[in-house]
A = this chain, B = another copy of it.
Amino acid sequence: MTTSALRPNLDDRVTQERVSLPPEVSNETISVMTGHESIRSFNPGSISEEALAAILISARSAPTSSNLQSYSIIVVRDPERKARLSAMVGNQRCVIDAPIFLVFCADISRLKYVAQRQQRHFAATNLEMFLTSSLDAALAMQNALVAAESLGLGAVPIGSVRNDAIAMAAELGLPDGAFAVVGLCIGYEKAGTRRGTKPRLPHQVTVHEEQYSSDGLDDHLVDYDKLMMARRTYAGRRVSMAGEPETEGADYGWMEHSARRCSTPDTIRGAAASLRENLREQVEQRGFVVR
């Protein structure tokens, strides 16, 4: 059973953007990555222990800053725990439906222990260590996602594990110095729920040669907006603003969605929205120093 036989997504980004990748720079791995689409609807079927082992060893193979490995992964399968976690991340149904929910944590608890053991003063109490350990967690998550997708599984990262870092830590029994950065739902997708790979901002907007350039930015954003509207990307997924009645026929594309998302929205996907204004306070309660 090959990977390509398993993946129904023919609408990958290479085709979408009409990029010509000659055979010598085309392979299964690049095809898996460029075909990425977040999957939020899962069949009840479980995942084999072997598939999970492949996903986890891929995650553990990601680069880690100075080999400090300042992250931990919690594997959650218990339906009751998943139901409680789902409630903590804005009632996202996918956390319940996915047979496996992985939580990737920034984790400096081991490094603190090791410093003490070696009779060294642990001095990495600053924004850099918080960032480094969060990046370690993110890189491991990305490898887990790519591994899962390469096996024909569907997956979606869940940033809302940061909605309530304290409750999340209590549920997962995290030690002082560990903080849930991002979750990952993994399972077999429910047939017929794919919408196709979501278009990205044009290459010219996010990629710059030698130095940053905003040339043509506005034109590119307008084009992208039209594409996202034509695709009905945000149909049923609008961010509502307090005190603003929604006009049904109004144009609503990436720009309006993103502007609302970074403003002070009232609800996002039916759940009370927040910009996680208390994240710093919570992260510091979890044993990090962010200064």
**A198 contacts B by Cβ under 8 Å:** yes
Known: A72-B212, A147-B29. A120 touches B259 (CB 8 A): yes
Selected from B2, B36, B111, the residue in CB contact (under 8 A) with A262 is: B111
B13 touches A206 (CB 8 A): no
Please, how many angstroms separate the alpha-carbon atoms of A259 and B111 in the complex?
A: 7
Partner of A121, one of B71, B221, B264: B264
Inter-chain contact B280/A129, CB cutoff 8 Å: no
Q: Is A135 interfacial (CB-CB < 8 Å)?
A: yes
Q: Is residue A123 contacting chain B, with contact meaning CB distance below 8 A?
A: yes
Judged by a CB distance under 8 angstroms, whether A54 is at the interface is yes
Closest to A143 in B: B33
What total of chain A residues lie within 8 Å of the partner, measured CB to CB? 128
- Smallest CB separation, A176 vs chain B (Å): 11
Q: Which of A111, A258, A277 has the most CB of B within 10 A?
A: A258
| Contact across chains for B29 and A206 when beta carbons are under 8 A apart | no
- A127 near B72 with CB under 8 A, answer no
Cβ of B25 and Cβ of A28 under 8 Å apart?
A: no
CB contact between A124 and one of B33, B53, B255, B275 (< 8 Å): that residue? B275
A9-52 with Cβ < 8 A to chain B: 13-14, 17, 19-22, 24-30, 32-36, 38, 48, 50-51
User: A222 CB to closest chain B CB, in angstroms?
Assistant: 10
Q: Are A58 and B74 in contact (CB under 8 A)?
A: no
B27 touches A122 (CB 8 A): no
**Taking the complex as formed, is A214 at the interface, i.e. its CB lies under 8 A from any CB of chain B?**
yes
- Chain B residue, CB-CB nearest to A2: B27
* Chain A residues in the interface with B (C-beta under 8 A): 1-3, 13-14, 17, 19-22, 24-30, 32-36, 38, 48, 50-51, 53-54, 56-58, 60-63, 65-69, 71-78, 81, 108, 110-111, 113-115, 117-118, 120-124, 126-129, 131-132, 134-135, 138-139, 141-143, 145-147, 150-151, 156-157, 159, 162, 172-175, 178, 181-182, 197-198, 200-201, 203, 205-214, 217-218, 221, 254-264, 275-277, 279-280, 283, 290-291
